[in-house]
């Protein structure tokens, strides 16, 4: 692989070195201690395997599940498996950099389709118009990263049908799908809409964003059996998931209802904080979607890099939009406790007042 993922290089080490973290989108709680996080310490070890628990959550067979080292690993395995069927990958724009940089590093030609601001609507016709005869994979995020827009299973089914009609595979990165104040209706995984089980469709997820358990490095691929077999072959070329992480992940999945209630409470409070902050400032614009703790914003005088630099000078982490194909914007994320987030927003507001 020779394609540098600029965002991952930029973000590495910054959250730990910053006073106010408005950049990390995973939920986080200071009380958690490793190797056994406090929230998992008193949960029982279930009899079911990690693969069995995931299969039950998504309503699929065990043969449709591959455990991976985080969502990053899952997306690498999915891209590798898909490229057995073609040479091109179509990825949403704006979008999360690794989802196009990773297949590019594997030798794929990358095409993009637009999800235009300010509503970032997912348009099946744009996808249909952009697919080439040798497109192997179409990649989207749900919730969309960086905007936070979420679509339901009906829209996902329409997109999956378009992709299947062109002989390609749809990959839906669902790490943010559970973000919301209440579970959605219809088929879900962890309370958020899932594309699992749709034709020619693969989904990836992890315990990192919604559950705040990134230290376990547990992700997964859910897809058709033949696709998962190819992804499993790809996974055999890298180090697997450690047994302690698997054991703790089993606890987390078996105790999901309790953990999810805590996460949804945090999400509701932080979404309200972010909405009030954006609404209170005449110099900021951009949607804060319901039940989402992050968003892609614009400043009326500065681009995303300028906002990020000004924030960093004051010890505040804000991610420039150029890492998401949106250089005029910046992504702000509230993943910490509400008290910490409120203090960070106050500090960020003071920075903007001085610009």
Share the mean pLDDT of the chain: 93
Quick: pLDDT tens for 312-322: 999 999 999 99
> How high is the pLDDT of residue 2?
56
Q: Indicate if the pLDDT at residue 29 is higher than 70.
A: no
Contacts of residue 73, defined as CB under 8 A and 6 or more positions apart, other chains included, come to: 217, 219, 235, 238
Task: Write down the pTM of the prediction.
Answer: 0.95
Q: Mean pLDDT across the stretch 105-127?
A: 97
> How high is the pLDDT of residue 43?
81
The residue among 342 and 29 whose pLDDT is bigger is 342
What's 7-50 look like in SS3?
HHHHHCCHHHHCCEECCCCCCCCCCCCCCCCHHHHCCCCCCCCH
Element housing 163 (H / E): helix 153-165
> How high is the pLDDT of residue 186?
73
Q: Indicate if the pLDDT at residue 139 is higher than 80.
A: yes
CATH no. for 6-32+257-353: 3.90.1150.10
> How high is the pLDDT of residue 302?
98
> How high is the pLDDT of residue 238?
87
Q: Indicate if the pLDDT at residue 68 is higher than 90.
A: yes
Alpha helices by DSSP H, listed for 83-123, are 98-105
Cα-flanking dihedrals φ and ψ of residue 115, to 5°? Answer: -115, 90
The candidate with the shortest Cα–Cα distance to 210, out of 180, 241, 187, is 180
Q: Mean pLDDT across the stretch 47-60?
A: 94
Residue 171 pLDDT grade (very low, low, confident, very high; cuts 50, 70, 90): very high
Residue 31 pLDDT grade (very low, low, confident, very high; cuts 50, 70, 90): low
Quick: pLDDT tens for 219-255: 999 999 999 999 999 999 988 899 999 999 999 999 9
CATH no. for 43-254: 3.40.640.10
- The domains of the chain are located at 6-32+257-353, 43-254
Q: Indicate if the pLDDT at residue 30 is higher than 70.
A: no
With b meaning 16 or more CB within 10 Å and e meaning fewer, what string describes 150-185?
A: bbebebbbbbbebbbeeebbbbbbbbbbbbbeeebe
> How high is the pLDDT of residue 27?
82
In CATH terms, are 6-32+257-353 and 43-254 the same topology?
no
């Amino acid at each position: 692989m020779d394609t540098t993922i600029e965002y991952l290089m930029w973000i590495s080490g910054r959250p730990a070195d910053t006073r106010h973290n408005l950049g990390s989108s995973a939920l986080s709680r200071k009380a958690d201690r490793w190797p056994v996080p406090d929230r998992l310490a008193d949960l029982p070890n279930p009899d079911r395997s990690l693969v069995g628990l995931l299969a039950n959550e998504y309503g699929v067979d065990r043969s449709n599940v591959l455990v991976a080292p985080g969502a990053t690993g899952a997306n690498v395995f999915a891209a590798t498996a898909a490229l057995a069927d073609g040479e091109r990958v179509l990825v949403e724009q704006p979008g999360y950099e690794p989802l196009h940089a990773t297949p590019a590093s594997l030798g794929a030609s990358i095409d993009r389709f637009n999800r235009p601001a300010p509503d970032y609507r997912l348009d099946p016709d744009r996808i249909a118009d952009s697919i080439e005869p040798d497109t192997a994979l179409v990649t989207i995020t749900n919730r969309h990263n960086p905007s936070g827009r979420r679509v339901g299973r009906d829209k996902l089914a329409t997109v999956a049908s378009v992709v299947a009609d062109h002989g390609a595979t749809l990959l839906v990165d669902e790490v943010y799908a559970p973000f919301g104040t209440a579970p959605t209706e219809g088929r879900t995984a962890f309370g958020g809409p899932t594309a699992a089980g749709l034709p020619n469709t693969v989904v990836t997820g992890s315990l990192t964003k919604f559950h705040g358990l990134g230290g376990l490095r547990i992700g997964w691929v859910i897809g058709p059996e033949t696709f998962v077999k190819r992804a499993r072959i790809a996974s055999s070329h890298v180090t697997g998931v450690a047994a302690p992480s698997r054991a703790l992940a089993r606890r987390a999945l078996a105790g999901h209802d309790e953990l999810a209630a805590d996460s949804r409470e945090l999400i509701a409070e932080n979404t309200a904080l972010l909405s009030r902050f954006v609404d209170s400032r005449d110099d900021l614009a951009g949607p804060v979607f319901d039940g989402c703790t992050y968003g892609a914003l614009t400043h009326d005088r500065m681009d995303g890099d300028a906002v990020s630099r000004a924030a960093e000078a004051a010890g505040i982490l804000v991610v420039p939009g150029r890492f998401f194909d949106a250089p005029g914007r910046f992504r702000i994320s509230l993943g910490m406790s509400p008290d910490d987030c409120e203090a960070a927003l106050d500090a960020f507001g003071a920075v903007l007042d001085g610009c």
